């Protein structure tokens, strides 16, 4: 079960999100940070969210761009790599969650959303208990990598060679606990049979351990 919610930013800017999972987040709340033109309707992230629900987590799948920004981005692609903007939106989502619930918070980021999640983690070190990146670009978090203190799991497809190299470099920069899981036979989007299920299981296990 999930319901659509609206997170109000400064100046009345709305972010649309879906809140799902158990009504009481006894285990924790996982905020999803989408990237590279994706949205809260991403079938891959929704599949991961379903597994997290089964593990007792609530999830917040949030569109990091307003409807107007999204329309511009579909034409120009100018916002999807704006890590400063996306990181700020994740940070504001963390603040919103904290105002309504005191459960532990984790972040799940995909593609450029992983960089945004790490930027937000660096900005809210006392609020974030764990981070998971799926096929992410943590390298785009820049100097924020040095400030992350939450245990971070980087999941990369074994056939996604360029992104794998970038994740290895990012892992070496992270000063917190950082693990790299390589999913054999998987490409960037984890479209191969069984690979996304493995991602979901790895994420659920990481959040159970650290939240």
Report d(CA 211, CA 209) in Å as an integer: 6
Burial class (CB in 10 A: 0-12, 13-18, 19+), 3: exposed
For 98, the 3-state DSSP assignment is: helix
pTM for the full predicted model: 0.93
Helical residues (DSSP H) of the chain, grouped into ranges? 43-54, 67-76, 83-100, 112-123, 161-173, 195-210
Tens digit of pLDDT for each residue in 83-137? 999 999 999 999 999 998 999 999 999 999 999 999 999 999 999 999 999 999 9
**pLDDT confidence of residue 211:** 94
Q: Which domain holds residue 111?
A: 2-210
Report d(CA 197, CA 193) in Å as an integer: 8
Phi/psi at 94 (nearest 5 deg)? -60, -45
Number of separate domains in the chain: 1
**Domain of 35: which CATH number?**
3.40.50.1820
Tens digit of pLDDT for each residue in 156-210? 999 999 999 999 999 999 999 999 999 999 999 999 999 999 999 999 999 999 9
Tens digit of pLDDT for each residue in 13-54? 788 899 999 987 669 999 999 875 556 767 788 999 999 999
Token pair 């949030």: residue: 62
């Amino acid at each position: 079960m999930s319901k659509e919610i609206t997170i109000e930013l400064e100046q009345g800017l709305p972010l649309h999100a879906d809140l799902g999972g158990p009504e009481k987040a006894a285990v924790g709340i996982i905020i999803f940070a989408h990237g590279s033109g994706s949205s809260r309707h991403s079938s891959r992230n929704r599949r991961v969210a379903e597994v997290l629900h089964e593990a007792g987590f609530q999830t917040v799948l949030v569109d990091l761009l307003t409807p107007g920004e999204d329309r511009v981005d579909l034409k120009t692609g100018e916002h999807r790599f704006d890590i400063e903007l996306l990181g700020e939106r994740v940070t504001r989502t963390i603040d919103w969650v904290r105002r309504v619930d005191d459960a532990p918070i984790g972040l799940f980021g995909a593609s450029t959303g992983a960089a945004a999640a790490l930027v937000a983690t660096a900005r809210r070190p006392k609020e974030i208990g764990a981070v998971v990146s799926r096929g992410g670009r943590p390298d785009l978090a820049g100097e924020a990598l040095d400030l992350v203190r939450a245990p971070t799991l980087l999941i990369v497809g074994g056939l996604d060679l360029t992104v794998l190299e970038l994740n290895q470099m990012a892992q070496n920069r992270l000063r917190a606990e950082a693990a790299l899981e390589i999913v054999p036979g998987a490409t960037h989007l984890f479209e191969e049979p069984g690979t996304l299920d493995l991602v979901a299981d790895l994420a659920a296990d990481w959040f159970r351990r650290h939240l």
